[in-house]
Structures are given as structure tokens and as C-alpha cells.
Chains A and B, each alone.
Chain A
Amino acid sequence: MSLSTERNPECRPGGACEFQENLSALRQVDFFSSLPMEALKVFAYLCARESYHAGEYLFHQNDVEGKAFCILDGELRLLLPAEGGEVQATLYKAGDFLGGLSLLGDVRRLFSLKAETDAVCLVLTREKFKKTLDQFPGVMPRLLEAVAERVLAWENQFIHDHADLCAHCHARLGASLV
């Protein structure tokens, strides 16, 4: 497929260039990196590029919108709604991928997600994801492995970082034993 890039030196929205960009962006994501090329191409083709203005919400707490986001540009802030406002949580940057779990099951958002700056994301919906998986049955096990690794890595990190801080949290550990 080198044809297309030869004839299209400029990258313009809505072109093969977008497809190629999507593809290389997804390949950088842990969640997708181990997948076979055929499946990855379909995901790159199906995901939509959406732009958000600074301050715009991508989802709110309790939504079940079934989307995963791969940030191409800009920053997104995770917020935990609390009494009298929102507590700022993780900040995501270009190249980060979030929401993979909501592709796998009905995930009710525990947080809200807001664009901290103007941002552009690749958005994949659960419906598209599911229909594609149906066509590539070998993909699911690899995805589950990727998710398992991620959860394990996260809890390991958590124990490491907070072991001394949060004594009563120990009673709550065990997310990776799910």
C-alpha cells in the first residue's frame, strides 16, 4: 500500500493518511499492540477521530457510553465528583489509551473525563469493537492477557507506592485477584 503515501504527500483529514496515522497510533497502545495486523487494520479503519474543546466532558460519572479513547493530541483530566466539587485525578497525555475495559463489558464510569486542553482522540465504541472481535476470534485471548497484565502491573505499582502510606488500605487490596 505504499502507493497511497507516494501520491499523497500532505496529511489531510479524511484521507488514507488518517488511516495510516490511526494504525500507527493504535500500534503504540499496549492493549492493541499484540494483535494481528488484519484486526488492527479494521480497528484503525473503524475508530473515529473526535476533537474536544478545552473544558468539554468526554463522559460523566455513571455513564455507560462504552467508548475507549486513544489520545492523539492534547490532555485529558480524570475527575472524581465529590461533595462540593470535583477532585482532580489522573492526567492523561497524547499517546495514552483509556477505557479499554468498557470495550469488554458494561462499565459504568466511576469518574468523569474532561478535556484539559483542546484535544483530539481516536474513539472506538463497544459495538464496533464487538463486531470486529466476532470476526477475529483469536484476538480475545490476547486482549484478556493484555488486560490481566495491566491490572497486575497496576496493583503491583500501587502496593509499591502506597505500602507505607495507607495501612487500612491493605484490607482492600486484591484487585489483581479478580
Chain B
Amino acid sequence: MPMDDTPIQVTKRSLFSWVRQSNMKLQVALLAVIMLTVATRVLPLELQKKIINEAINLRKLDLLLVYCGLYLAAVVVSSGLKYLINVIQTYLGQEALEKLRKELYHHILTLPLNYFRKTQAGMVVSALVTEIAPAGDFIGQAIAVPVTNVLTLLAFGGYLFFLNPLMACMSLAIYPLVLVIMPRMQRSTNIANKKRVDVTRDMSSLIAESITGVHEIHGNASYRIENSRFDRMAAALLKIRIRWNLLKTGTKSFNNFCVSLAPFLLFIVGGWLIIEGRFDLGSLVAFLSAQEKLYDPWKELMDFYQIYQDAGVRYERTMEYFDFPPEHTIHLTGRAPYELDGSLGVEGLTFVADGGITLLSDINLALKPGEHLALVGFSGSGKSTLALCVGQLYKYTSGSLKLGGQEVADLTKRDIATNIGFVSQSPFIFTGSIKENLLYACQAALESDSPEELAKLPSLDDQIAVLQQAGIFVDVLRFGLNTILAHDQESELAQRIIRVRQGFQQDFGQELAGEVEFFDPQRYLHHSTVAANLTFGSPRKPEFATGNLSRNAFFLAFLDKQQLAMPLIALGAELTQTTVDILSGLPKDNVFFEQSPIPPDQFEEYKQLAELLKKTRLKDLGEAERSRLLDLALRFVPGRHKTASLPLNLETLILEGRAGFKQEIEAADPGAFAFYAPEEYIYSQTILDNILFGKPKSDAATSQEKIYQSIIQCLIAEDLLEAIVEIGMHFSVGSKGDKLSGGQRQKLAIARVFLKRPKILIMDEATSALDNKSQSRIQNLLETRWKGKSTLIAVVHRLDIIKNFDKVAVMKAGKIVELGPYDELMAKKGSLYELVHGKKS
């Protein structure tokens, strides 16, 4: 694909440039099809005349058949070609839209951070998703529609002149008039349209703002204020939209009116000419058809004109909105990214933000490669700002900031990515797996995503090593242990896990009896579902899966026989009522639903059921409702779901049912269940539960810690630790990493930067969400492994970890007030001393 060396920024491009850049082969093919189409459009007119004048008038049946056959063929071909044009148009348009969208998105991501502080995300979404779509439609039509229709018009016009010049002039007289008046009307429409785009944009911002701040509105019950703000805007939009629509339809109606005047002129003049004997009837029919047919291309042209205007306005407005240059070059062709040596030199650095606020002033600082600098000071003193300037995330306004002797402002983003690692205060974790997030920075620094480049990514061993360094190893191991293996797959792994189970029983079975509820056939399992307590096995057939049991005829008959059906439905009803009572109105957040027997996606259904239960007795409920209640009861885990408890008599009944169930199912359908047995892998349970051959009793940190420490030992003995961690690395972190805790997100971000091993490492309060131990371990690691190898600039909130930094810079109001080694500054009893020991009064 030929590309300019310096492509113009996407927002500077005109709408037509996209037409030029579209698929030329398709465009040529399109033109060829158009030529054919025009021919097949004119042919029927001539045939019409011939059918009337030659075949009908002269009563020649054979000619009639021939002409009619040709007519039919022309119509069929013309319709087929019209469809073909549409197909090509669609391809052209959608391809162009895709390109436009991609390029605009690529551009938007490079805009300065500053820009996004002032921009609502919703605005960008609507611009990319809806506002530019008409531009794509336009680009598809940009050549085909005008060319087809202008040619058709010319052909019809020419044919009319060929038939009768006078009559042709009569019927075409209207069009120039339209051509003069239409653009004027369109101009008003455009102005209205621009206003509409602007007001719609304001409205989106207003909605986005009030939705984000909805708690404030609820808190103040300020519905009236917010409603009136919105109502005013809606009213303004109403006015504008009405005006815009009226102008649009007005333009159309005017056009229609003019065009329908033409037949009137034809009948008057043509009829008179025929009566006078200067014109024949066949020609008049042909004329009338041609006149009618003129209308279609003309209408299409006019519609196209309006689409063009509308697309133009939207396109222009959208592009204007994003028309800012990126602050830094992304990538420079012609040279490989610099390999900087890690030295930092700052001279007279000043950063004045918009509005003339000085955030940094006259900063002077020098670091040798591998030196570690701590930036301390109160919040707002500029320490983060300085770190962000070094990382090229802020563009300083004057002075010099050099990394490895190169001015940071002149470096490309690739240079930065190659040499700098950055961990921000609240690192962003993207949707995907742990592994994808871990490799994010390394992958970004690659030249491309080709297999040869991907082979340069760190090995699994390296990945696991940094997980350990950052202290997230055990978390990932947990994710792995909480995975449910796919049914009957990885049977080798399953066999090895059973060996781990045996080791665990031997070494820790006694010790952890207080922490784990083992799968004991004689006892009720409070940390397993009611269904598992009854079946005491994992289903091998889908109809026996826990979710389907409440509709399984065999199982229902069994419950009835054991007199369990009614008590379980009653339990389901109680669970429904209490859970709905507590969780009603809360968002579908994991925090709220972790201990709820009702999963978030079914909450609405159970909420309705709870309403129903208020006025209906259990035995009067329908089949479907009873089945829902039973389903909930079967999923109930008394040890986890706190909204109800399991009555003791029901517990006894269930335990008695367990033996009966095994007997009956083995008689009726042997092999439907794999019963829990110490030598069998249980595919319906997690790896953890398989190793424990039971379930942990508590979520409390201390008991979990005990369990995991023991399991780690057993896994090491079986050489399975890394395999399980690798499974855990495929754990999906959820949108924005919301399945991870704040600490886990920070650790993951630190692991990510450790894996990259940059020359210069910037950490902006990167360990603020970590517990003491993790923070000290990471600090330790930085001192032992990184000192002398990578330059570190750390914004530090906690002052007890800065003792071993090479230099400490104390910042106050955008200036460095003290700079030097920790001991020296402390001895001076200046600002640092004050920060550490608090202000002396």
C-alpha cells in the first residue's frame, strides 16, 4: 500500500480525500457498470415508442413480441445492474468508513492527556460510533450516484431533444429554476443542522455529567434543578430539530412540486401538437415516460445533495472537535529507537499549565545512570507533575529535561517506550487475562505483532519470576486453583492433582481439619450446595447439571418421594424474600453479590417472584415459579450465603436423602453421576476443592493463608506449582480489571514494568495500595536488583522507605527546596526533617 512519508493528520483531511483514497479498482468497475446501466435505462423508452408506433399501430404481432422481449430484457438487466451498483457502493462506503474510524481513533489516542481532562468519554464514543457514519454513506455514493444520475439525465435529455426539441425544452425548463433555489434553501438547512450537532453534543455532556453525579442528585433530591436544566436543553433541541426537519422536507417538497409541474406542460403542449397533427401519439407516450423517468435520477441527485451536505456538516464538526496535533511524534521512520543510558539532566525546568498556573518552576536536577531519586513533599507540591514530565506525559513549557543526553520533548513516543517504564498511582488494567496485562508493556515495545517479534517476548519463567517479585504470585496461584478444569480434558493434569490431594491429606489433613470441610459422605457439607449434598457427586450428563435439576423429572420424583420438595421450595421462597429485601436497588457489583444465592443476572426475575410471594401462598404458585424457587434452594450454600439459614430438620432430611439418591440413580441411570471419591477427580469442582477434597470454611485471610501455604508445599512436591500458576495467568481480570483488588492491580502494574526492565523507571506512588510487607519487599528488590542498573524516579508518600535512595528531592509549591542524600538532609534539620518528624510548634 503506497503511503506518503508524512501523512496529513486525519482531522485536516477533507471529506473528498477519502473518496480519492478509496478502492480504485472498485471505483473503475463501478463506472463501467454505470455506463451499462444508463444504456439499459434509455433503451426501454425507444422500445416503448416502437411498440406503439410500429407494432401496435401496424398490427404486427411478431414485432410486438420481439420488442416486448427486448423491453423485458432491458428492465431485468437494468434492475440487476442497479443492485450491483448498490453492492459496490456499500463496499466502498463501509470500507472508507472503517478506514476513517480507525484513523480517527488512532489519532484520538495520541492527543495530549490535557485534552482528555476536558473531554467527556461519551462525546468521543458518539463521535466515533454515530456522528461519522453518514460520512461513510456519502463516500460510497460520492462517485456512483452523481455520475449515474447526471449521465441518465443527459441521456434522457438528449433522447428528448432527438424526439422533439421544442417539447424537450418545455419539459426541462423547470430544472434550472430548481438549481438556483435549492442551494439557498439547503444553506439554511445546513445552518440548522450545525446547530443541531452542537446542541446534541451539549446535551450528551449534560447527560453524561448528571449520570456520573447521580448520587449527588439523589443526595440533594435536586431533581427539579437537574430536570429544568435538561428540559431547557431539550426544548432548545426541539426548536432546532423542528426547524431543521421543516427546512429539509421543505426543500424536498419544493423539488417535488417543480418536477410534477412538467407533465402539466407536456399535456398542454403535446396534446395541442398532436391535435394539430405535428406530433405522434407514440412519441407523446415516450415523452411522458421519459419525463416521469427524469424524475427518479433527479430525485436521487437531490437526495444525494442533501446527504452530501449533512455528511459534510457532521464530518467537519467532528473533525474540528479532534483537530489538535499530538504533542509528540509517535514513531520516526529512518532510525531505530534510541537506547538511552539512563542519565537524567534537568535545567531550569518550568511547567505552566493552561490558565497560567505554574505547576513547576526552575527545577534543576541531575542523576547518573542507575541512580535512585525519591521525590517527596505534600500533595500538590508538584512531585507527580515532575515525574510525569520526565515520562513525557506532560509537556514542560520551558527549560531543559534530558534523558541520556537527549531532550525529552524531541524524543518520539517509541523512544520513550523503549527506555522508560512507568507505574502510575492508579494503574489501568485492561480487559483481558493476567498474562495479557503482564505482557502489555513488552508487547507495546515490539515493532509489530508478527510471530518473529512475538517470539522476543519474555519467557514463561521470566513472567513467573516477576509475579513473585511483585508479590502477586500467590494471587495468581489462587486464580489458577479456583479454575474448573474442562470436563474430561487434561486427564493427565487431573491425575497429578489427585496425587497432590493424597499428599495434602497425608501431610495436612489433620492440621487443617478446622479450616477445611472435607467431603465426608456421612456429614452435611455446609460449604457445598444443597444439590451437591443430595447427589454427593458431579453430574456426567447435562440433564443432571445443577441448573437443570429443578426441571429433571427423575430428580423431582425423587424429591417428592423423600418429602423434600415442599421444604426446599419453602427454603427457596425464604431465600428469595430475604435476599431481595437486602439487595434490592444495589448495582450488580461482585461485592454485593458474592454472598448472595441469587446471581446478579437473575436478580430481576427473583425480585418479581418476591413480589408475587407477598400475595400468593406457596402451594398456589405455578409450575415455573416453583421450579425457580427449587432451583435457588438447590444452589444454596449455607456457609456462604448469609441471607437465610438451613433449618436443622431439613438438613437431616437431605442427609438421609443422599444415600437414597445414590441407590436410585445407579439403578435408573448408572453413570449419570461421578460420586465424590478420594481417588476420583471431580470435574464440577475447582482445582482447589479437588486438592482439598472439600471446601475452605472461611474467607478470613488467616485461614486462607494457612490453606494456601500448605497447598503450595504439596504442589511443589508434585512439581505442579508453575502449571497451576500458568492456568491462573489466563484468569480474566474483568473490564478495567474490576475483578482484582486495588493492591492486586498495583502489583500487576509493577510486575509489568519489572518484566520490561526499562533503563529508566518512574514510579508515581506505585506502592500506595500495598500492605507493609509487600511495600518493603518491593523497596528491597529495587535496592538490590535495580540500583546501578536502572535509574529510578519514585514519587513517594511514605517517608520510611526513602532512606536508601541515592538522592531525595523535597518539593514545595512546584520547586525543589532540598536535594541530597537522606542522611545529609536529615542532619540539616530542614524541610525533609520537618516532613519526617512533623512540624515543630
Contact = CB atoms under 8 A, between A and B. Distances in A.
B578 A16 contact: yes
A2 to B, nearest CB: 11
A60 B701 CA distance: 14
Contact of B592 (A8, A62, A131): A131
Interface in B741-766: 741-742
Nearest to A11: B645
Interface in A1-23: 1, 3-4, 7-8, 10, 12-19
Nearest to A61: B772
Contacts of A108: 798
A63 interface: yes
B412 interface: no
Contacts of B218: 137-138
B589 interface: yes
B489 interface: no
Given A12-B645, A15-B645, A45 B700 contact: no
Interface stretch (A48-56, A70-78, A144-152): A48-56
Interface in B710-748: 741-742
Interface string B284-325: 000000000000000000000000000000000000000000
A42 B586 contact: yes
A164 interface: no
B745 to A, nearest CB: 12
B644 A41 contact: no
A178 interface: no
B129 interface: no
Contact of A137 (B219, B638, B700, B798): B219
Contacts of B641: 14
A65 interface: yes
A16 B219 CA distance: 31
A134 B215 contact: yes
A45 B645 contact: no
A1 B798 CA distance: 49
Contacts of B800: 62
A171 interface: yes
Contacts of B582: 41-42, 45
A64 interface: yes
A128 interface: yes
B216 interface: yes
Contact of B772 (A15, A42, A56, A62): A62
A90 interface: no
Contact of A127 (B587, B591, B699, B768): B591
B356 interface: no
Interface of A: 1, 3-4, 7-8, 10, 12-19, 41-42, 45-46, 48, 50-52, 56, 60, 62-65, 106, 108, 123, 127-128, 131, 134-135, 137-138, 171-172
User: SS class of chain A's interface: helix, strand, loop or mixed?
Assistant: mixed
23 contacts: A1-B578, A1-B581, A3-B574, A4-B645, A8-B645, A14-B526, A14-B639, A15-B645, A18-B645, A41-B581, A42-B586, A42-B592, A52-B702, A60-B772, A62-B772, A64-B771, A123-B700, A127-B591, A127-B742, A131-B589, A135-B215, A135-B586, A172-B841
Contacts of A65: 771
Contact of A14 (B642, B647, B741, B841): B642
B812 interface: no
Contacts of B483: none
Interface string B553-590: 00000000000000000100010011001110111010
Contacts of A7: 570, 574, 647
A62 B644 CA distance: 38
Given A1-B581, A14-B645, 19 more contacts: A4-B644, A8-B647, A10-B648, A12-B645, A13-B526, A14-B642, A15-B644, A15-B646, A16-B644, A18-B642, A18-B645, A45-B583, A45-B595, A45-B643, A46-B591, A63-B772, A106-B768, A127-B742, A135-B585
B551 interface: no
Interface in B775-829: 798, 800
B110 interface: no
Nearest to B590: A131
Nearest to B700: A50
B433 interface: no
B640 interface: yes
Nearest to A52: B702
B583 to A, nearest CB: 8
A50 B581 contact: no
Contact of B577 (A1, A13, A15, A134): A1
B406 interface: no
B643 A131 contact: no
Residue of B581, B595, B772 contacting most chain A CB atoms (<10 Å): B772
Contacts of A128: 591
Nearest to B768: A106
Contact of B698 (A1, A46, A50): A50
